[in-house]
Chains A and B, each alone.
Chain A
């Protein structure tokens, strides 16, 4: 399934849900915020939230800043 992750094409192998996508990308345990087609997906609903061909996923994390 082809997704756009952070602006780049991403071929998801098996990821059916947002949670599964994070696992597949190796960032399952990290503090990230997920934006699916311009809508924030709360951490509590990542497992339930399914992905579809062509979805746009944006992932953000905290970094050092002043």
Chain B
């Protein structure tokens, strides 16, 4: 009974669960490409994001003092999700994931393996292998993946916590080019589906949520916009609107013909009784 009550409470708050962790925000944010730490932190705060991606790099010979991520660590309620960017294959990604876990103290990992710098498309075979090993090692595995429903099922089967199919190429701003494939993934997925990469405008984020995606992850769309803090807030509103629309249920599509919303009789004629 109490358990049911809690579930209903969760339903009212519209939380989603990934790897046993509960979140209310359905907007995930990346931290790359920002001009400075202040703008990045401002955008993260304005987005309301509770999951924030970071990357891992070797320290240079003369380490620069500007620590982009120092202020992030002080924010409450934010889960850092280190990615494996820079990894060209599964073994490099597994190594990066373990270093990320040590640094962040977070079991979350965004598995990201894209060997071709021209299109940055995720390598499905290496991604699958890394995800399999890391899930067995009790990571909360969030794979950046091609929008492929067959691969999605395979990743779910090896214990991934979510699926993160691309909307279009990283940083391209080409939006939901994979919409048809995303629908196929959504149809069968039993774990959260997060559209990662390619979004440019808040309306695209809203469309992803309306379609039934559980969340979206954006970075360039905010960081490379005219005003990153304001754009982060706009994405937060769009994600909320899209989610609310999905929960409300969109009206059925018409068969192409118009269906009037007002009576079509001449306004001078007598109202039918």
**Chain B binds chain A:** yes
Residues of A near any B CB (own CB < 8 A): 6-8, 25-27, 30-33, 35, 40, 42, 58-66
Flag whether B7 is at the interface (Cβ < 8 A). no
Known: A30-B67, A62-B82, A64-B55. 8 other contacts (CB 8 A): A32-B59, A35-B99, A40-B99, A61-B63, A61-B103, A65-B85, A66-B53, A66-B83
How many B residues have CB within 8 A of the partner chain? 35
Q: Beta-carbon contacts of B83-114 to A below 8 Å, as 1s and 0s?
A: 10100000000000011001110000000000
Question: Complex formed: what's the CA distance from A51 to B61 in Å?
Answer: 19
Dominant SS among interface residues on chain B: mixed
Q: Which residues of A contact B102 (CB under 8 A)?
A: 33, 40, 42
Give the tally of cross-chain contacts (CB within 8 A). 87
| B58 and A63 contact, CB distance less than 8 A | no
Q: Beta-carbon contacts of B239-268 to A below 8 Å, as 1s and 0s?
A: 000000000000000000000000000000
Partner of A26, one of B31, B56, B63, B69: B63
| A60 and B59 contact, CB distance less than 8 A | yes
Query: Given that A40-B99, A63-B69, A64-B31 are known contacts, is A27 also in contact with B219, CB under 8 Å in the complex?
Result: no
Residues of B near any A CB (own CB < 8 A): 30-34, 40, 53-61, 63, 67-70, 73, 80, 82-83, 85, 98-99, 102-104, 170, 197, 217, 219-220
Query: Given that A8-B61, A30-B67, A31-B73 are known contacts, is A65 also in contact with B55, CB under 8 Å in the complex?
Result: yes
**Nearest residue in A to B59 (C-beta to C-beta)?**
A59
Closest Cβ of chain B: how far from A53's Cβ, in Å?
21
Cβ-closest 4 pairs across A and B: A65-B55, A66-B30, A66-B219, A64-B31
Question: Complex formed: what's the CA distance from A53 to B197 in Å?
Answer: 45
**Nearest residue in A to B73 (C-beta to C-beta)?**
A31
Question: Complex formed: what's the CA distance from A31 to B99 in Å?
Answer: 12
| B54 and A59 contact, CB distance less than 8 A | no
| A60 and B103 contact, CB distance less than 8 A | yes
**Nearest residue in A to B55 (C-beta to C-beta)?**
A65
Closest Cβ of chain B: how far from A52's Cβ, in Å?
21
| A63 and B63 contact, CB distance less than 8 A | no
| A60 and B99 contact, CB distance less than 8 A | yes
| B63 and A65 contact, CB distance less than 8 A | no
